[in-house]
Amino acid sequence: MTAAGLGASFRFHLASSIRVTLGLAAFQLVLLLVLVALQPPQARALLFEGLAAGIATPEAFSASRLGFALWAVLAAAAAARRLAPTQRGWHLHLPVDLRTRWGAGVLGVASTLPHLAVLWILLWIGATLLGEPASPRALLALPLVALGAAGAWTPAPRRVRACAAVAVPLAASASSPGLVAATAIFALAYFQSGRWSPRTVRVPVAPSSLRPLGRRLPTGQLVLSLRALGLWIALAHLPAVLFAAPTGLALHNNDFTPDQSELVLRLGTSLAIAATVLGTATLLNARRPPWAWSRSLPWSARQRVAADAVLLLLVASPLLIPVLYLRASSGLSVLALLVFLAVRLPGRMRNSLRGLTKLGTWTYIETLLAALLTALQPVIGLALALASPLFLEASARREQSLKVGLYLERRFDGAREAES
């Protein structure tokens, strides 16, 4: 009964996962091809060689394998969100236990990752053809990474999903202890998936000492913005890649003086941060347009603007790590630029227009000029950071004066009826 139920349930999930796979794989592969095509030929060759060597290397915790594992987790999250309705309805009345139902769901989500598996195998074969050291354990890690990523998002108790998530980096290490530990932890997750009942669920309650703090902080608005972005936030750093690769090649292939190297590094990082913050603000403006309902929530205009500023800071702050490590002085000026953009763009997002290009032309010009001036004169970035409280107050005032139901003549006919 277990094997028959697992097969029937998996075939049911597979029928839905095929459509999900076609949509997700097409989007991800086209995006990958576009990013690779925009790179210089030399950078493209180094990228392929580095990825192939990183996938097949016998060394533990390779950056390429960890990157592919993160990609698998994000892709599995998008697939699990689409396949979650198949876990309900008449499927709950099948004569199978909870463990079998969870296993079928994991296999269904994992079946949406064939594009990632094909790239993994092709890179491993390419490494062997290039003469790089290739370990067979790298191929054994592939199914464990896919199953762990799928198990981390398949509906189940938190302890089950946590065990599956922990198995992903252990399997990506491709070492003998890591593979054994990942197999044992995933087996534990499978065993725990059957030892659960809805009656055991408890609603967590925050301590009374932390509740006033939660009311003061704009966490609710921040969570609302994160849910509006969804999984698109995983693509926030893709615009930075277009500036990071030329900057790295320029520093690696030219003999610059220390001042020139610092200028090139500061310029590339400033443009990367400007592109990341601007892309995130544009996407947030399109997916979470201003509406009157948010005015009824217990948050002030300053709190709503501060929440957007914190979100932009959190998204773009990882880009500061390499520049702070290489040049601390340049990192401080770029950090000042990030603070200025984080408090400036929330005010620009407060408009009644919608779409991916409705921030306004001056917003793009202003962001580009701030990045270029900060790269040329770091003192300008520090001055902009010192003036950030004024820009934050201006953004809050823009939020207060925003008319969500603004009448735009071009959207209505002569009788003031909305045009379809």
Looking at the fold, whether 265 and 371 belong to one and the same domain comes out as yes
Question: Cβ contacts of residue 116 below 8 Å, gap of 6+?
Answer: 68, 71, 72, 75, 146
User: Residue 338 corresponds to which tokens in the numbers above?
Assistant: 């990030």
Query: Please, which pLDDT band fits residue 206 given cuts at 50, 70 and 90?
Result: very low
**223-248: pLDDT as tens digits:** 777 777 877 777 777 888 788 778 87
Contact yes or no for 261/326 (Cβ under 8 A): no
CA 373, CA 376: separation in Å to the nearest integer? 5
Q: In a 3-state reduction of DSSP, which class is residue 152?
A: coil
Residue where a domain stops, chosen among 150, 165, 196: 196
Q: Domain tally for the chain?
A: 2
**83-116: pLDDT as tens digits:** 776 666 666 666 777 787 788 888 888 888 888 8
- Is there a domain that residue 202 lies in? no
Q: Which residue from 419, 269, 398 is spatially nearest to 335, judged by alpha carbons? A: 269
Looking at the fold, whether 131 and 9 belong to one and the same domain comes out as yes
- Is there a domain that residue 201 lies in? no
Residue where a domain stops, chosen among 146, 161, 196: 196
- Is there a domain that residue 335 lies in? yes
Looking at the fold, whether 172 and 32 belong to one and the same domain comes out as yes
Looking at the fold, whether 91 and 136 belong to one and the same domain comes out as yes
- Is there a domain that residue 350 lies in? yes
Query: Please, which pLDDT band fits residue 400 given cuts at 50, 70 and 90?
Result: confident
Looking at the fold, whether 295 and 400 belong to one and the same domain comes out as yes
Q: Residue 310: give the domain boundaries.
A: 218-409
- Is there a domain that residue 165 lies in? yes
CA 151, CA 160: separation in Å to the nearest integer? 8
Contact yes or no for 343/309 (Cβ under 8 A): yes
